[in-house]
Amino acid sequence: MSDTEPRHDWSLDEIEALLDLPFNDLLYRAQTLHRRHFDPNRVQVSTLLSIKTGACSEDCGYCSQSAKYNTELEPEKLLPVEQVVEAATAAKQRGATRFCMGAAWRNPTDRNLERVIEMIRAVRDLGMETCVTLGMLSGDQARRLREAGLDYYNHNLDTSPEFYGNVITTRTFQDRLETLAHVREQGISVCSGGILGMGESRRDRASMLRELSNLPRHPQSVPINLLVQVEGTPLHGTEALDPFEFVRTVAVARILMPTSYVRLSAGRGEMSDEMQALCFLAGANSMFYGERLLTTGNPGEDRDRELFRRLGLEFEQAPDSRSAGAGDGGSRSAASA
């Protein structure tokens, strides 16, 4: 098995074998590969804002925003553009290079999409990369987002095809793949990963990574989330995932998708500094920054800056998204720009 070129033909047995490696061997292999493509001491930082909160018709078993569960979350309408620009400006001043906007929709209406396009253009005018997560998209909607200059579209696979029905019934795994295909066909960079700790098996985690790594083009950004248990959702009370299993999954994601940004996303508030340090050693080189992720908490900025100081890490500098163009990969030169 060679690490020299990205592959798109990984078997489930190969990925499980990676997950089964002795921990030190796995991290050594992941860190060695990470250094071929990235500066190991730079981390890309994104900020996430909920631009439309709650009242979602989906039944994702982990989500506080589903209208099907009583999580005491107050629904909010789509934010005005001015409020989004204010939040993006503050995020940029704090060091974020990418501004991500999430709306709790099954799929956007054309009217709502036009309002989001206004937000994308306004945030790009600040010199930041843009990312949105709006649910399922048609091919024409993906085209409109590309014409607006969108850099990234987030649409997570969440888990394996085999375990998927235990978490979500209101859309299929294939629906997710089709949205990713629409985004990829338009040349928009794909942000897609999953959630760990939902009661899935190691084989399920391997299967999810196989789906991601065997896409026609690896996602440019791969968020690895740790389940944040929300009271009132079906997954509240699920047995906590072994922290070493989370780190192993990060390391294998790095090996399978060597030029992708691997992001620590939801769940960092439940991680110790030592666990996060192991994730960076395993090849994570992106994270969400700020005290809130959509509706759940995140470590405070002071804590993150202190952790970076202790580890000798630096925030990656902002790329010129208007000249780089959507679809650029995560090579060392891009990471050092």
* Contact indicator for 329, 187 with CB cutoff of 8 Å: no
- Residues carrying an active site annotation: 56, 60, 63, 100, 131, 191, 263
Known binding residue 279? Answer is no
SS3 of residue 249 by DSSP:
helix
263 is in an annotated binding site: yes
The phi, psi pair for 118, rounded to 5°, reads -60, -40
The backbone region for 312, taken as left when phi is positive above 0, alpha when psi lies in -120 to 50, beta otherwise, is left
User: CA 27 to CA 69: how far, in whole Å?
Assistant: 39
- Residue 305, marked binder: no
Q: Specify whether the CB–CB gap between 251 and 30 falls below 8 A.
A: yes
Beta strand 129-133 with 296-297: parallel, antiparallel or unpaired?
A: unpaired
Amino acid at 14: E
Question: Which ranges in the chain belong to alpha helices (H)?
Answer: 12-19, 23-37, 81-93, 110-124, 139-147, 173-185, 202-213, 243-256, 273-281, 301-311, 321-324, 332-335
129 DSSP 8-state letter: E
User: Measured between alpha carbons, how far is 172 from 153 in angstroms, rounded to an integer?
Assistant: 19
Is 56 assigned to a binding site? yes
- Residues annotated as binding site for [2Fe-2S] cluster? 100, 131, 191, 263
Binding site feature residues for [4Fe-4S] cluster: 56, 60, 63
Q: Residues annotated as binding site?
A: 56, 60, 63, 100, 131, 191, 263
